Amino acid sequence: MELTNPWISQIKYQDPATGFNLASPSMVKLDTGELLASYDYQWSGDFPKTENKDKRGYRETEGLPEALSHHEDITDLKLDQYITSVYRSDDDGLTWELTGDIKGSTGGKLFVNRGSAYLISNLYEYGSLVIRRSDDKGSTWTNPVDEDSGFLFRAGKHMNHRIIIMCQVTF
């Protein structure tokens, strides 16, 4: 395959001075033809501490406190460290729009099945493996609170934070 008119598109620029790097890139083409791209953030050093220590164990996202009850070591601070950003393009990648940030998601990979977009990721490094679904082109995502809503594997010392997805690609 020869590229006759190559171009470069930048989804997001991350200034190295922030101490954060973009990681775990993933991209899919939706059934509508639009593109979704995701990445998470990796940093060096200590993550900034929250001023209000009383709120570390609770998040106001609907359903999440129940999910956290299965993970005694999860705190609000820990989930805030692991964020995946999702972008959408409706012009074959020339321009990108941020659709949202998903807290409690790292190492994620996107895929499409039966018209819905899915993100499979860990809640945090070596954390539970979860899956989220979007039926609106990546604008909103389901919230995994138990085994019936997206928890695939519980966290444990045996967990590896790398996710491998096997797929068949045809051109």
Q: Is residue 56 part of a domain?
A: yes
Q: Is 114 a domain residue?
A: yes
| Residue 85 placed within a domain | yes
In which domain, by residue range, is 66 found? 16-153
Judge whether 129 lies within some domain.
yes
103: nearest Cα among 129, 138, 77: 77
Residue 159 located in a structural domain: no
Q: Is residue 108 part of a domain?
A: yes
Could you report the per-residue pLDDT of 43-81, keeping only the tens digit for each?
765 545 444 433 333 333 334 433 443 444 445 556 677
Domain count, the chain: 1
Assigned domain for 26 exists: yes
pLDDT digits (tens, 9 = 90+) for 106-164: 899 999 999 999 999 988 777 788 999 999 999 999 988 888 888 787 766 544 555 55
The whole-model pTM stands at 0.72
